[in-house]
Amino acid sequence: MVTVKQPTDGGARRAVFAPVDNRARVDAVVRRLGDAIELGLLADGEQLPGESELAGQLGVSTVTLREALMALRQQGLVTTRRGRGGGSFVSLPDVPGEERLKARLQGWSTEELRDLGDHWAALSGAAARLAAQRTEPDDLVQLRRTAVELAEAEDAAARSRMYGRVHVELAAAAQSARLTREQVALQTEVGALLCLVFGDDEYREEAADRHRSVISAVQDGAHASAGTLAERCVLESTARLIAVRLTL
C-alpha cells in the first residue's frame, strides 16, 4: 500500500494560496503598459481601448485598471480627454538628455553590463532559434518592417527604440509569451542607454545589416545560425556600451 504524504499546513503554504494583493495587480498593469509605451510598442497618441475592454483583456477589474491609468498619468505616459472623442491616449516620454543617460550608465559597473549582455544574448539567441523552427515567412512581415525602420532611423533615440523592438518582435515570432515579456522588460531597463552608441551612422548601418542576417536565417529555418547571429548582435552592442562606460 502506498502512503500518500499529506501537505503541511504551515504559514508558507497558506501564503501561497492567500488572495492576490490588489495593489500588486495595479503595479503589474502599470509595468505592462508603461514598458510597452516606453519601448514604442504603443504609438504616441494612440488611443487605448475603453476601460471595460482593456480591463477584460488584462484580466483585471475596472477599479484596478483605473488605478493603473491614474499612475500612468502621473508618470506622464498616458493622457485622458473627457467628452466626445475622449478616452485614454498614449503619451510617449522624451528620451533623457545625453548627460542624464551618461549619469545613468555610471550606475552600472562593467561587470553588471557584461552580465546584462549575457542575459540579453541568451534571450535573443533562444528567441531566434525558436522563431526559425516555428514561423512561416508571413509571420516575419512586422519584424522585417521594424528592421527597415532601424536602418532608416535618423536619430539615436529612434534607432535605439527600433533596435529594442526588433528583439521584442523576434521573441514574438518565436511564439513565446514569456520570452516576449522578458524582452520588453529588458529593453525598458537598458534601451535608452543604447542612445549613447547609436549616434554613429556607421554603427546604425552595421546593426541593421546584422539584424537582416538574423531575419534571413530565421526565414530559412537555419535555427543554429539564427541564434548565433542574434547573440552576436547583442554582444556587440553590449561591448560598445561597456566601452562608453569606461570613458566616464
From first to last of the 248 residues of the chain, give the pLDDT tens digit.
Answer: 444 444 444 444 344 445 445 557 888 888 788 878 877 778 888 899 899 988 888 888 999 999 999 999 988 889 988 877 788 999 877 666 788 788 889 989 999 999 999 999 999 999 999 999 999 888 899 899 999 999 999 889 889 989 998 999 999 999 998 899 889 888 878 888 999 999 888 899 999 999 999 999 999 999 999 999 999 999 999 999 999 999 98
The pLDDT value recorded for residue 95 is 64
The pLDDT value recorded for residue 96 is 65
The pLDDT value recorded for residue 75 is 83
The pLDDT value recorded for residue 120 is 96
Fold of 98-247: Four Helix Bundle (Hemerythrin (Met), subunit A) (1.20.120)
What are the extents of the domains in the chain?
A: 18-90, 98-247
The pLDDT value recorded for residue 196 is 93
The pLDDT value recorded for residue 222 is 97
The pLDDT value recorded for residue 15 is 43
The CATH class for the domain spanning 18-90 reads: mainly alpha
SS (H, E, C) the chain: CCCCCCCCCCHHHHHHCCCCCHHHHHHHHHHHHHHHHHHCCCCCCCECCCHHHHHHHHCCCHHHHHHHHHHHHHCCCEEEECCCCCEEEECCCCCCCHHHHHHHHHCCCHHHHHHHHHHHHHHHHHHHHHHHHHCCHHHHHHHHHHHHHHHHCCCHHHHHHHHHHHHHHHHHHCCCHHHHHHHHHHHHHHHHHHHHCCCCHHHHHHHHHHHHHHHHHHHHCCHHHHHHHHHHHHHHHHHHHHHHHHHC
